Amino acid sequence: MIIIQGGQPLSGSVRAAGAKNAALPAIFASLLTPEPVELVNVPCLRDVETAVELVRALGKEVVWEEGRLLIREPGPLSPRAPEELVRRMRASFLVLGPLLARLGQAQVPLPGGCAIGTRPVDLHLKGLSALGAELEVQEGWVYARAPKLQGRTVYLDYPSVGATEQLLLAGALAAGETAILNPAREPEVVDLSRLLSALGARVRWADDRVVVQGTGALSGARHAVIPDRIEAGTFLLAGAITKGKVRVEGIIPEHLAALLVKLEEAGVEVSCGEDWVSVVMGRDPQGVGVETRPYPGFPTDLQPPMVSFLSLADGESLVTESVFEDRFGHVGELLRMGASIRRQGASLLIRGVGGLTGTRVTASDIRAGAALVLAGLAARGTTEVEGTDHIYRGYEGLAAKLGELGAQIWEEKENTYP
């Protein structure tokens, strides 16, 4: 449980950790090669721990210390992914493409993860089938075979991050070129393409596609994971919601462009440097309209904390979730704190209130947990956030970092991680 005594404006600077959503596919990319892969700027998170457990279970040896992973291969890989690990985290499904491309076969259970919608894997399977994979789904498992994947042109009906990453991973060892039309362009996807290029695949981006030229064998590489734009955005919103002054360092401001525009629209003073962003908020924010979109649009992972911020804005705000159909687990808990939010299909109509009141709330997923922590920072009285296991899947030392910014926040000892 995270306990917050609200009402304290945050002030100071904090450094962003490495991006969870870039570290996970990078770890799974190590399955493509028998050579050592070194990853640096890796965040200490439970989802990263799950990814490390998974590649170890498949046959890799992993040394993890102080933000650095060294992944080696002491023996043969297994084509069968453990069910318990894949069902724990949706990103684990990304082992399917590397195992299939490397071993010619794979058995991977359908994934689990946060309860924010169905998030089907149809595009993953459709793309792998286009590359020549024989796929069969039985009793919650995907059985895949392909003596040799063949590069093809694949069109994605939706620019899915997971499907784009799956096809990039598989295409790195496929014969010929794999062209993905309408790909996801999130920074984490581009970061994966940088790693694949370092391993020996040739990846090039164009206006409407990304093309990967496969190779018969990949080498090892050293790769630095990009900063976490979602964590950075969460800290900026924490500064804004508490009417404070917060600077986030070690980031790529361009990755946060959509959020920064909306913060400025709401009346936040935003400043940017080469690798930092700061916010200053000295008055009540103004209501704005927000719609989540694939990058470079407003990120769905920042929708829940943005809703917390807008719950205290003057006037009305309309927030539309167009990426996941059920990413509103934070709304009921914010209502218990005094927010005025009404759901209208895929949108939230938010009427700003004069203040929130602390109470006991429960995080239903990673980003909903962050939203409730932010609400607690601004609320009157004490807020107790349960479900912190979700939060620490995606945020490294969240309470400690907020404490460094002046928040009155602490954790019950038995739930402290890491």
Structure tokens at 189: 């996807």
* The pLDDT of residue 218: 97
Region 299-316: mean pLDDT is 97
CA–CA separation, 134 and 214 (whole Å): 19
CA–CA separation, 198 and 218 (whole Å): 9
Are 276 and 352 contained in the same domain? yes
Are 252 and 138 contained in the same domain? no
The string of pLDDT tens digits covering residues 176-227 is: 999 999 999 999 999 999 999 999 999 999 999 999 999 989 999 999 999 9
Among the candidates 191, 222, 253, a domain finishes at 222
Are 205 and 192 contained in the same domain? yes
Among the candidates 195, 222, 249, a domain finishes at 222
* The pLDDT of residue 37: 98
Among the candidates 169, 200, 222, a domain finishes at 222
Residue 415 — very low, low, confident or very high, per pLDDT cuts 50/70/90? Answer: very low
* The pLDDT of residue 119: 53
Asked whether the beta carbons of 18 and 60 are under 8 A apart, the reply is no
Number of domains observed in the structure of the chain: 2
Region 395-413: mean pLDDT is 93
Are 237 and 159 contained in the same domain? no
Are 232 and 217 contained in the same domain? no
CA–CA separation, 301 and 292 (whole Å): 9
Nearest C-alpha neighbor of 89 from the set 115, 69, 62: 115
Q: Name the residues annotated as catalytic.
A: 114
Are 235 and 354 contained in the same domain? yes
Nearest C-alpha neighbor of 378 from the set 239, 263, 245: 239
Angle between helices 229-241 and 366-378 (to 10 degrees): 20
Are 245 and 184 contained in the same domain? no
- What lies within 8 Å, CB to CB, of 189 at 6+ separation is 161, 164, 165, 168, 183
| Pairing of β 408-411 and β 61-65 | unpaired
Region 17-30: mean pLDDT is 98
Asked whether the beta carbons of 305 and 281 are under 8 A apart, the reply is no
CATH number of the domain residue 308 falls in: 3.65.10.10
Q: Which amino acid is at 319?
A: V
Asked whether the beta carbons of 298 and 310 are under 8 A apart, the reply is no
Region 165-186: mean pLDDT is 98
Q: Which amino acid is at 109?
A: P
Are 185 and 269 contained in the same domain? no
Domain that holds residue 236: 2-14+227-415
* The pLDDT of residue 196: 98
Are 212 and 339 contained in the same domain? no
Structure tokens at 19: 């991006």
The string of pLDDT tens digits covering residues 249-294 is: 999 999 999 999 999 999 999 999 999 999 999 899 999 999 999 9
Are 267 and 213 contained in the same domain? no
Are 66 and 143 contained in the same domain? yes
Are 173 and 237 contained in the same domain? no
